[in-house]
Structure 1
């Protein structure tokens, strides 16, 4: 589900009551653990943490007017989603996450390329997400992003 909103607070207020607390806690967990430099914004109808243009002027290669996205959280129709571009582009980080997840959550990991889906709000591993949020600094993410987008351009 896409919620039109200008601010994270407004986005959360539009959610069904049973989702508000989980999204607010995810937001707090991510904000409290991201390395300095990332900024919170609304993008593509989601709460998104980005590398702002003043740190990475080229912006997002799909739309250069947008800052470079890193993590997004959203309430979808059947699940709460955490989109993490680092696990999509950094194989070692993905391997770490896949290894740690079953140590903390009883249910099977439901994951796409960058999307981690939580069908039950009680199964969200906030401690693991806090650790994941701390794993990549802004400059490292920019370097990973540039390396991966260069591979795409060469194809």
Structure 2
């Protein structure tokens, strides 16, 4: 379910009522914890957090007009999704997240390469998502991104 909303605020108001609060809470916890330098954007039909062109002029290799994506959150048809490119690219961070998850949730981890899925709002471990958002600075993400891109 991709949104065409031009702003995060409008994106949130367009969501089904039962998803608005959890998505607002996810946004708030990410904004509170994400390191300085990342920018909140609308991208790929969801709320995103990216390295702006002012810090990384090359942009995203798939579409250099886009800032370098880092995190995203979306209300999908059957789940709430948290996308985190760092856990896709950094095995140490991925392992940390997998080890921490059971301490924050009694539900089975439902995860793809960079996508963490939650069936219900009450299943989202906000504190853990906030901590995950804080784990990598824009400069660290740029360095990791470029090292993976060169492989």
Residue 72 of structure 1 corresponds to 72
Secondary structure at the aligned position of 2:41 is classed as: strand
Superposed CA deviations along residues 84-124 of structure 1, whole A, max 9, x for unmatched, are 00000000000000000011101100000000001011010
Secondary structure at the aligned position of 1:36 is classed as: coil
Alpha-carbon distance in structure 2 between the residues aligned to 1:70 and 1:55: 13
Superposed CA deviations along residues 55-98 of structure 1, whole A, max 9, x for unmatched, are 00100000000000000000000000000000000000000000
Q: After TM superposition, give the deviation of residue 130 of structure 1 in Å.
A: 0.9
Q: After TM superposition, give the deviation of residue 146 of structure 1 in Å.
A: 0.2
Residue 109 of structure 1 corresponds to 109
Matched residues, number = 151
Secondary structure at the aligned position of 2:2 is classed as: coil
Alpha-carbon distance in structure 2 between the residues aligned to 1:133 and 1:44: 19
Consecutive unaligned residues in structure 2, runs of 5 or more: none
Alignment of 1:1-155 (within 5 A): 1-151=1-151
Q: Structure 2-normalised TM-score? A: 0.99
Q: Could you list the runs of 4 or more consecutive aligned residues of structure 1 that deviate by over 3 angstroms after TM superposition?
A: none
Superposed CA deviations along residues 114-144 of structure 1, whole A, max 9, x for unmatched, are 0000101101000101110110011101000
Consecutive unaligned residues in structure 1, runs of 5 or more: none
Alpha-carbon distance in structure 2 between the residues aligned to 1:31 and 1:108: 26
Alpha-carbon distance in structure 1 between the residues aligned to 2:67 and 2:48: 10
